[in-house]
Chains A and B, each alone.
Chain A
Amino acid sequence: MALLRTAFRAALPPTLPIAAGFLFFGGSYGLLMHAKGFPIVYPLAMGYVIFAGSMEFVTVNLLLSPFAPWSAFMLAIMVNARHLFYGLSMLDTFRGLGWRKPYLIFTMIDETFAIDSSVHIPALVDRGWFMVFVSALCRSYWFGGIALGWLAGGVLPFDTKGIEFVLAALFLSILLEQWDDDRNRREDDDSHPRPHLAIADLMDSARPHASALIGLSASAICLALFGPDRFMIPAMALMLVTFLILRTRLEAADDEHGPRNGVAR
C-alpha cells in the first residue's frame, strides 16, 4: 500500500495542469455529443476505447455521416500516427512491467507521453505504478470532463446551436501552435545569412511550414475534386505521395535544422 501511495503522490502534481485542459475539452466534447442527441454512454464508451481527443471529436462527425468504417479506420491510423513514435521511444521504458505494460500502451496519449518521458521520478517511487497513475489520472479527468459536459448540456440556459464549430476551432488552434513551433525551430538556427531576394525570402519562410502547407493544400485540392463526403482517403494518399516525392528536399531542410524535439529521433 505504501508503494502505491508514494507512486500516486508523485504522479498527481505533474498531471494537475492537464486536468484543467481535459475538463474543458472533455466538457466541450460531452456537450457536443449531448447537442447532437447521443446518450451519455456514447461519449464515455468512445472516451474509453479510443482515448485520443482529436479522433473522438472527428468520430462525432463520422457517426453523423454515411456509414464508412474503412475510411474511419484509415483516418484513425493517420490522425494518430504520432503514437507510433511515442511507442518507439517508450520501448525500453515500458519493458518488464508485466500487465501494466499493455495498460500503459492502451492509454498512451500526448500528455502521458510528455510526463512519462520527461518527469524525473524519485528513486523511492515505483516507476511502473507512477506511469499507471499518470494514465489513470489523465483518463479520469477526461471522463469527468465528458460527464460534466454532457450533463451540463441538459440544463444550459442557452441554445447550443453552432457548438459543432468547436471541432474546427480545436484543429485550427492546434495548427496555429504547430505553425509557431515550426517557425521558432527555424529561427533558432538561422545563423547563416542568405542573399535577399523577395522570392527567396518567401520560399525560406514557407519551408519550415512545408508539412502543414502540404497537408492543407492536398486536402483542399481533394475536397474540390471529390467533394466533402469522399475526399479524406484521396487526400491522405496524395499527402503520402507528396512527402515521398519531396523526401530528399524535406529531409535536407530538416537535417539543416537539427532533429525535432527528440520525439521522432
Chain B
Amino acid sequence: MMTMTTWQAVVTIAAVSLGTMLTRFLPFTLFPDSRRPPRTVTYLGRVLPHAMTGLLVVYALKDVSPFSGSHGVPEAIAVLVIVLLHRWRHSMLVSVAGGTIMYMVLVQLVFA
C-alpha cells in the first residue's frame, strides 16, 4: 500500500513525467536545424541504454535478501526459469509470463 499522501504521489508522477518528456523534447529544442550532436552525447547514447537495463534489473531485485525470509530462493528459481524460457522461445511475452507465474506459484504454495 502507498504511504505517500496524494499530493506526494502527484508530485512523484509529475517528476517522472517531466524527466521522460525532457528526453523526448530536448533534441528538438537543442538541435532545431539537425546540427550534429557532440560526440560524447552520441557515445553515451550508445552505451547507456543497455547499462540502464542492468540497473533496472538490480533495482527490481533490490529488496531480495539472502539472509532473511525465503533467502531469495523463489527469486533465484524464477530468474532461472526466465533465462531458460528465453533460451528456448526467444519471446519476451513467454519469458515474462512464465517467470512471473512461476514466482507467484512459489510464494503462494511452496514458500508460503
Contact = CB atoms under 8 A, between A and B. Distances in A.
Nearest to B60: A168
Interface string B15-53: 111111111111110011010010011111111111111
Q: What is the predominant secondary structure among interface residues of chain A facing chain B?
A: helix
A125 interface: no
Nearest to B99: A169
Interface string A64-81: 101111101111111111
A240 B28 CA distance: 24
A166 B9 CA distance: 22
B54 A162 contact: no
B3 interface: yes
A214 interface: yes
A163 interface: yes
B57 A171 contact: yes
Interface stretch (A6-14, A83-91, A146-154, A198-206): A83-91
Contacts of B95: 169, 172-173, 176
Contacts, number: 279
B19 A49 contact: no
Contact of B82 (A64, A162, A172): A172
21 contacts: A21-B92, A21-B93, A38-B2, A42-B9, A67-B4, A76-B19, A81-B48, A81-B52, A105-B24, A161-B107, A166-B96, A169-B78, A171-B60, A172-B60, A176-B95, A178-B49, A211-B50, A216-B54, A219-B55, A231-B62, A239-B51
